[in-house]
């Protein structure tokens, strides 16, 4: 765990450099109590006016010459609040709840309320983009474009959980590793789901050929759509115009099969 003296010193330095600061918060692995030996310190500085720079990095020399990596983000206070209302880009569409610790805040700000506010909602079903990725997988395979196929398969797998969330009970996650483990453990999923997800994401742990990736990507896509078709609640969960209709009448499955 990082020394509180260091955090206090850095917060004081940031306050002196940013007179328009509203709050300074610690987030990431140190706020969660999960920091490793090489973990950086993640800080957000909330400002009342537009920041002049979005990010800053510090390397502080500690005892015995060890360097401490500090990552600092500067956010407009209103933009930070807006961010909490949008799904996270890294969470595989799962909801997010990240513990934070307020190191400093202006007088009158409710620190406890601020520490409860670092949440982001569940992402929506990305069915159309999912189908687009499936089409790119097919095109790349026909063209013998292995890097393109692997990229398309990776993107397809990344979008896949957004289609299955309505069929699985999901809890908020705090980091991407936790999110990955959660989506790989979905109890309601098509056959070979975990295996195909790992292959498409490039996490299979062994060599895979272009045919292996193609087979896993298309099996994953067809299996997910077939599963959604058999669950009216999952169809209804996709609010994109025409998508529920095409799911219900089998058009999307036909598109994947052609």
First-last CA distance in the chain: 55
Percent of the chain with pLDDT over 70: 100
Mean pLDDT across 217-237: 92
Q: What's the pLDDT tens digit per position in 1-39?
A: 677 888 999 999 999 999 999 999 999 999 998 999 899
- The upper half-sphere exposure of residue 112, i.e. CA atoms within 13 Å in the direction of its Cβ, equals 0
With contact defined as beta carbons under 8 Å apart, do 77 and 51 qualify?
no
Predicted TM-score (pTM) of the model is 0.89
The mean pLDDT of the chain is 93
Q: Which of 17-21, 188-192, 231-235 has the lowest mean pLDDT?
A: 231-235
Q: Class of the 4-120 domain? A: alpha beta
Q: Is 7 helix (H, G, I), strand (E, B) or coil?
A: helix
**Given phi > 0 = left and psi -120 to 50 = alpha, else beta, which region is 247?**
alpha
Q: What is the pLDDT of residue 215?
A: 98
Is pLDDT of 217 > 80? yes
Rg (CA), the chain: 22
d(CA 68, CA 63): 10
Domain boundaries, given as residue ranges, for the chain: 4-120, 127-257
Architecture per CATH, domain 127-257, reads as Up-down Bundle (1.20)
Q: Give pLDDT, residue 84.
A: 85
The dihedral through the CA atoms of 216, 217, 220, 226 has a sign that is: negative
pLDDT of residue 198: 98
Percent helix, percent strand, percent coil in the chain, to nearest 5: 50, 15, 35
Distance CA 157, CA 23 (A): 38
Instruction: Return the HEC string of 59-122.
Output: EEECHHHCEEEEEEEEEEHHHHHHHCCCCCCCCCCCCEECCCEEEEECCCCCHHHHHCCCEECC
Question: How many secondary structure helices (H) and strands (E) does the chain include?
Answer: 12, 7
């Amino acid at each position: 765990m990082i020394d509180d003296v260091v955090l206090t010193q850095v917060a004081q330095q940031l306050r002196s450099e940013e007179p328009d600061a509203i709050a300074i918060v610690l987030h990431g692995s140190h706020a969660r109590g999960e920091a490793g030996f090489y973990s950086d310190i993640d800080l957000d500085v909330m400002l009342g006016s537009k920041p002049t720079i979005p990010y800053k990095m510090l390397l502080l020399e500690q005892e015995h010459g060890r360097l401490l990596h500090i990552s600092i983000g500067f956010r407009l206070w209103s933009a930070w609040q807006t961010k909490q209302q949008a799904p996270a880009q890294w969470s595989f569409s799962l909801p997010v709840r990240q513990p934070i610790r307020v190191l400093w805040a202006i007088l009158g700000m409710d620190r406890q309320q601020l520490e409860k506010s670092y949440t982001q909602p569940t992402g929506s079903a990305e069915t159309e983009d999912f189908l687009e990725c499936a089409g790119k997988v097919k095109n790349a395979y026909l063209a013998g474009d292995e890097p393109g196929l692997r990229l398309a398969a990776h993107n397809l797998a990344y979008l896949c959980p957004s289609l299955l969330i309505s069929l699985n009970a999901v809890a908020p996650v705090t980091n991407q590793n936790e999110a990955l483990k959660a989506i790989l453990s979905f109890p309601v999923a098509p056959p070979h789901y975990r295996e195909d997800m790992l292959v498409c994401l490039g996490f299979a742990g062994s060599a895979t050929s272009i045919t292996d990736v193609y087979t896993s990507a298309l099996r994953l896509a067809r299996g997910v759509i077939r599963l959604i078709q058999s669950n009216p609640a999952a169809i209804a969960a996709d609010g994109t115009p025409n998508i529920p209709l095409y799911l219900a009448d089998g058009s999307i499955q036909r598109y994947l099969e052609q």
